[in-house]
């Protein structure tokens, strides 16, 4: 039996203005245990796509399903099945790192013993053990980004939506994040990851979706995209540059 996609977007058009949609007929899937890279130039529509998935924007046309349901059909199931790591960290200044993690765990209904195990693991992994009781206002941008990532990972939903997570992270933080994403993927989690650092995500994503001017111009494995672009064996960066230049 073919597994059901954790994320399925069909014929999505949308944006900030009804008369000028940013997205045009977007269609993509993320299967269980799959990591998909959403790549494109600035303004291509990556963040707008994510906002529609998160429910921050309503589609002008099309449908988005998470865990087999739409937001209108079952809001609690839909929202409870995903977690989001934004490009810019957004924290409560007068809450500590530990309080952020506890707040997130309660919101997702994580049992106390599981929360304790996960928070200890995450604080070690991201080298934040000595910052757990620090107020977020006193953290560097990189540390704030780590807190956002830790909050997403303490929840363990089926789907992770991750927007430019490497900004502000040091090399060890980037490696820890990628290693943990691989662990989550091996456990069956689904990941939609947007990043400009193509040389990094090339070796981690199962498939790629190339978004240009609000339209998907190619999607598939690296080999499939390379073949479609007439560039077999080339790195993702070179394939991407060729595709978007042709798209201009």
Domains of the chain: 7-81+157-247 (3.40.50.300), 91-156 (no CATH)
Reported as a single tens digit per residue, the pLDDT across 239-248 is: 999 999 865 5
Least confident segment among 10-19, 62-71, 110-119, 204-213: 10-19
Q: What is the pLDDT of residues 198-224, one digit of tens each?
A: 999 999 999 999 999 999 999 999 999
Query: CA distances (Å), 143 to each of 18, 39, 152, 162, in order?
Result: 38, 25, 14, 17
Answer yes or no: are the C-beta atoms of 222 and 236 closer than 8 Å: yes
Retrieve residue 156's tokens. 């363990």
Structure tokens at 76: 């609690």
Question: CA 123 → CA 101, 149, 202, 248, distances in Å?
Answer: 10, 11, 27, 44
């Amino acid at each position: 039996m073919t597994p059901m996609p954790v994320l399925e977007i069909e014929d999505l058009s949308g944006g900030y203005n009804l008369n000028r949609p940013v997205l045009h007929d977007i269609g993509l899937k993320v299967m269980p245990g799959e990591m998909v890279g959403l790549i494109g130039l600035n303004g291509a529509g990556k963040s707008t796509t994510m906002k529609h998935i998160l429910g921050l924007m309503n589609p002008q046309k099309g449908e988005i399903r998470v865990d087999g349901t739409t937001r209108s059909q079952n809001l609690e199931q839909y929202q409870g099945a995903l977690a989001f790591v934004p490009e810019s960290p957004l924290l409560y200044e007068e809450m500590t790192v530990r309080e952020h993690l506890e707040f997130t765990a309660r919101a997702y209904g994580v049992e106390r013993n599981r929360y304790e195990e996960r928070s200890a693991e995450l604080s070690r992994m991201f080298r934040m053990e000595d910052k757990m009781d620090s107020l977020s206002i006193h953290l560097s941008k990189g540390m704030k980004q780590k807190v956002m990532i830790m909050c997403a990972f303490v929840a363990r939903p089926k789907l992770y939506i991750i927007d430019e997570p490497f900004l502000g992270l040091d090399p060890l933080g980037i490696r820890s994040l990628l290693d943990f994403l691989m662990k989550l993927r091996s456990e069956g989690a689904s990941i939609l990851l947007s990043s400009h650092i193509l040389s990094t995500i090339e070796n981690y994503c199962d498939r790629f979706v190339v978004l240009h001017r609000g339209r998907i111009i190619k999607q598939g494995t690296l080999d499939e995209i390379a073949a479609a672009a007439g560039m077999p064996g080339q790195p993702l960066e070179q394939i991407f540059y060729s595709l978007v230049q042709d798209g201009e």
